[in-house]
Structure formats: structure tokens, C-alpha cells
Amino acid sequence: MALDQRCIVIGGGIAGAACARALADRGWQVKVLDTAGDPCAAASGVPLGVVSCHASPDDNPLSQLTRAGMQYTLAFARQHLIHGQDWSQSGVLERRLNEADHAKKPWQAPTEDSVWFSHVQLADAQQLSAAGLSSHNSNDLWQPQGAWIKPLALVRALLSHDNISFMGLHEVENMQKSAATGEWQLRIKHHISIPSMGSSHTYTTESAPHVVIATGAQTPDFLNQVLYEPDMGLHPISGQVSWGLQPPALDPVLPRFAVNGHGSFVAHVPTSDGHAWYSGATFERNNASTEVSVKAHDHNFERLSQLLPAIAGALTVQWQDQASLNAWVGVRCASVNRLPKAGPLNEQRLAGLHVLSALGSRGLTTALLCAQLVADGIEGKTPTLSDALRKAMQCDLDSA
């Protein structure tokens, strides 16, 4: 019997768009439902992000995932995005600053037989100087494949496929499996605006044999309120990005590559109003607020002062001018072990339901790879990731 290649993806951010594209490229017909009118409306709407490895001397699971995930994101960007406008593979300088409670482990230059050889190098004096840093006793790293990318451009490109239909203002109120057809039936609330009468809504039903839940920070609420299932220990993380238009006088001063390590900093990013710089984001666990905060701006400046002291000094006047300092705030979702949740929810009780969530602050790096893992599971194919890594990301609700 031929596989019924219809799937509904709930969520139009990076996770949902990546899952939709992974299936559409395999011939599936995919409907993407989102409560917002347009894609990328929640945390995925951050104006800019960095694609890089999580470098660790012991090559922990997050390192393995981000190293593999980068290749999927960069390959898609090369084929579907405009370099220099939507993204730039300019490299990433990773500052290995010591935390208050423990020192970073020393990093040795990788040998040719190391998994890190083409991904991570010790930063050289020229790279450090371009960021206003000294090479004295530096333990900083250079990731030559690193890049910055605009999430909205990525999501739009992912959804641009004949087999994908984006359906905005569609809120899933409840869902259950039909005993007659074996398909999941979703009751959809349509939010509509009527001139001179305010807002209203209508209801319809959508059905498919497979559903992917990619609802980001709303995943715990969705699991609790729609499926009456536990939240898998997922928790929200509020993040504020500080940014401003780049004064031409600072063009020679600001680095032309991304810098990571204690927050991040990216400059020379083209916008409709000129080049811009971006700094942040804050990382407030168990906080679901989307309010712009002066305190968060101050925190971003404090972190930038530690990450890139000379750059913080050059931006001090602009940072203190409220008229020229902008902000973006969003809420991400993370798991206890900092790895995404990707795969079937429960193959016995909830067959046909899958999830991709808890991408945290690494969604741009890991979403496309994790989407392939979800698609492999839906099609019953052998996944490309190791058993240990898959197990670390599994979504067994009965053991949550």
C-alpha cells in the first residue's frame, strides 16, 4: 500500500518551515498552519542570527549536532538565498571567555584527523585585531564556515515550494484521531477582521495521517491544552536583541564577521535603511515576556563590553541615545539537556504525531538537519544521526 503523503505542520517559524520543506522535497503535500497572519511571527522573527558550531574539546552531543546541522543550513542558503543580502558566510570569531564559576578548557589546534579540522581553528592575530582584540594569551577560536543569516529570508525560502500551502490565522483548538480513517482531525479556529465590526472567527476542519507540532515556545501550552499531555520539561527563554543603524564613520572599526561567546555581535548587515549592527540576545530562563526592557539593553551592553571592549566603546554614544537604539524581543523554547526535541511523540498512543521544538538559540544551525530526522521518522527510514544523539532528542511523553 502506497504511503499517504499528506502532512499538517503546526507552526510557521524556522522549525515548521524546515519540516514542511523536508517533506515537500520528498513529494509530500504539506499544509502549514499558524495563528499569525504571516510566517516567522514569533521567536523565529528575530532580525538576525548566527550559524556556528558549539565547539567543545570533548565533542559533546550539542557539538555533534551543530557541526552536522551547519552543513544543511549553509547548503540551503547557498542555493536559495542571496549572499551579502540574506546571509553572509563571513566566518565567526568565538571568544572563549572564562565564566565566573569555571574556566574554559584549553583548546588545541585540531590535527587533520580531527572532526574539528575544517570547522574550528585557533584565532590568529589578524582576526583578533579586526575585532579590536589583543592576541596576548588568547584562547579564542575561528570558525571559517560560520555565517550570519536573516531568519525571515530563510523561512520564506523554505516555504517557497509548490507542495507547501501556508495558512495563516489558523489556530488549532483541538485534535483527535478518527477511528474510521485513522487520520488526525484538527478543529481550526479562523481569526478574521470585519471592518467596523471588530474581530470574529469561523471554524473548519483539516485532516491528515501525519501532523508535526512545531509551535516553539507555545509547545508546552499546546501539549497541555490541546492534547492534554505533559510538557516534556520544556521551558521558555525570553531574549532581547539591541540594534542600531551603523554610522559610516564606524565602517572601518566594526568587524566584518560575526562574533560569538558572550552574547553575539554582527555588523555590516544590509537593511532597507542602510547597514546595521546587532548585539545580544539576552537569555532569561522561564520568562515569557515580550516587553522591550531598558534593563535588557543595559545587560546587552554589559555583555558586549566583555565580548568586544573596543567595539562597545565605539558604540557607547549611540547606545545611550534612545532615539537611535532599537530592540527586538522574542521567546524561545528549550529543553533540560539543551538539545532539540525531534521525532514521534509516542508511537504507540499517538501514532502519526511528531514534534520539532526546543531549538533554543541554535535554531538556525540545527533546524534543517532536525527536520530531516523528523521526515525520516515519518517515512520509516533509517535516520542519518547516531542512535545516541537521536535518543537524546526523543520525545517519549510517557517517560517525560
Per-domain residue ranges for the chain?
6-45+154-234+335-399, 97-147+236-334
State the Cα–Cα distance between residues 319 and 312, nearest whole angstrom: 9
State the Cα–Cα distance between residues 331 and 283, nearest whole angstrom: 10
State the Cα–Cα distance between residues 159 and 313, nearest whole angstrom: 41
Question: What is the four-CA torsion angle of 36, 38, 43, 44, rounded to 10 degrees?
Answer: 150
Residue 205 CB burial class (10 angstroms; 0-12, 13-18, ≥19): exposed
The backbone region for 22, taken as left when phi is positive above 0, alpha when psi lies in -120 to 50, beta otherwise, is alpha
Residues 6+ apart with CB under 8 A from 328: 45, 46, 47, 240, 241, 243
CATH topology of domain 97-147+236-334: D-Amino Acid Oxidase; Chain A, domain 2 (3.30.9)
Inter-CA distances, 93 with 117, 148, 307, Å: 16, 12, 11
Strand 170-177 relative to strand 164-167, pairing: unpaired
Per-residue pLDDT tens digits of the chain, which is 400 residues long:
567 899 999 999 999 999 999 999 999 999 999 999 999 988 888 999 999 999 988 889 999 999 999 999 999 999 999 999 999 999 999 998 876 556 677 788 888 888 888 999 999 999 999 999 987 768 899 999 999 999 999 999 999 999 999 999 999 999 999 989 999 999 999 877 666 655 677 899 999 999 999 999 999 999 999 999 988 889 999 999 999 999 999 999 999 999 998 889 999 999 999 999 999 999 888 888 889 999 999 999 999 999 999 999 999 999 998 888 999 999 999 998 889 999 999 988 999 999 999 999 899 999 999 999 999 999 999 887 888 888 889 987 665 4
Identify the bridge partners of residue 167 per DSSP, sorted by sequence position: 33
State the Cα–Cα distance between residues 191 and 181, nearest whole angstrom: 28
Phi/psi of residue 113, nearest 5 degrees: -90, 5
Cell of 167: 495558512
CATH says 6-45+154-234+335-399 is which class? alpha beta
Rg (CA), the chain: 22
Residues 6+ apart with CB under 8 A from 316: none
Kindly report the pTM of this predicted structure.
Answer: 0.94
